[in-house]
Amino acid sequence: MALTASTYRISRCSSRSLFRRIALLSPLTLVVFLTGCLSQKMYIDPALPKVEYAELVSTGEKHSVQVFFEFQSKGSLNANATQQLKPRVLADIKKSGLFTSVSEAADPTNAGYKLFITINNVPVDKNAVSKGVGTGLTFGLVGTMVTDGYTCKASYQRPEIAPIEKNYTHAIYTTIGNADGPKGLPPLKPQEAVFQMVDGFTLNILNDLRKDSAL
């Protein structure tokens, strides 16, 4: 078999030098290719009251409503997350049955009934990135748990009546690699956890507006 120039050069390397190179390159290669495989589990903080759809019984006349939803990261508009989570919020509000119709577009039938919901992802762990890198470099042996904080601000506006404002807080815990999650909380997949956080906020807003006899 004919040897190419490069294979010939390699064949001339001492086996010791070659093994040293492989030994040095392997961790780097593994870091690059395997870090995405580290297990990630999320846990929903239990502090926000659990509201069931069955509790959402209207206390007054039903109206149509225009819903405005915005997801922020550290107080700034996060267009991607807003786009992904808006359908979930609209579906939750429709499912509640507290409005005759629910839309995100301006509609004459809304007659001035507007519900603004803003969720803001705020940092709780300031060194979350460095903790995550540490976990990645040890292939998950040194696990990490980080906390994502969320605040939610809602404003329900009706014609000629002062708006009703509501504020809530929530948290999602994420473990990466070999770390224990909060005791007593079931692990969830990332999308499931984020949806539960959004559902929790939305149903609490609706329930509290209902208790205020606004719905």
Partner 1 sequence: MKMLKFWFAACVSVCVFFLSGCSATAPNYQTSNDNIQALSAIPGQKVAVGAIEYGPKGHALNSLSIRGGSFNSPINDSWAAYVQGALESELTASGRFDANSTIKVSGTLLENDLDGASFSTGTAHISVRFVVERNGQKVYDQVVTVDNQWDSSMIGAVAIPAARRNYIATISVLIGKLFRDEEFERALR
Is the CB of 32 or the CB of 47 nearer to partner 1?
Answer: 32
The verdict on 139 binding partner 1 (CB under 8 A) reads no
Residue 86 makes CB contacts below 8 A (sequence gap 6+) with 69, 104
- Given candidates 5, 28, 54, 162, which one binds partner 1 under the rule CB under 8 A? 28
Measure the CA–CA gap between 118 and 151, rounded to whole angstroms.
Answer: 8
Is the Cα torsion angle 101, 102, 104, 109 positive or negative in sign?
positive
Is the Cα torsion angle 191, 196, 201, 203 positive or negative in sign?
positive
Measure the CA–CA gap between 157 and 170, rounded to whole angstroms.
Answer: 24
Dihedral angle over CA of 100, 159, 104, 172, nearest 10: -90
x/- string (CB under 8 A) for partner 1, residues 143-162?
------------x-------
Smallest distance, partner 1 to C-beta of residue 105, A = 7
- Given candidates 78, 147, 151, 169, which one binds partner 1 under the rule CB under 8 A? 78
Total residues in contact with partner 1, by rule CB under 8 A: 28
The verdict on 40 binding partner 1 (CB under 8 A) reads no
The verdict on 165 binding partner 1 (CB under 8 A) reads no
The verdict on 129 binding partner 1 (CB under 8 A) reads yes
Which structure tokens are listed for 73? Answer: 């990261």
Which of these segments, 64-72, 164-172, 177-185, 196-204, binds partner 1 (CB under 8 A)?
Answer: 64-72
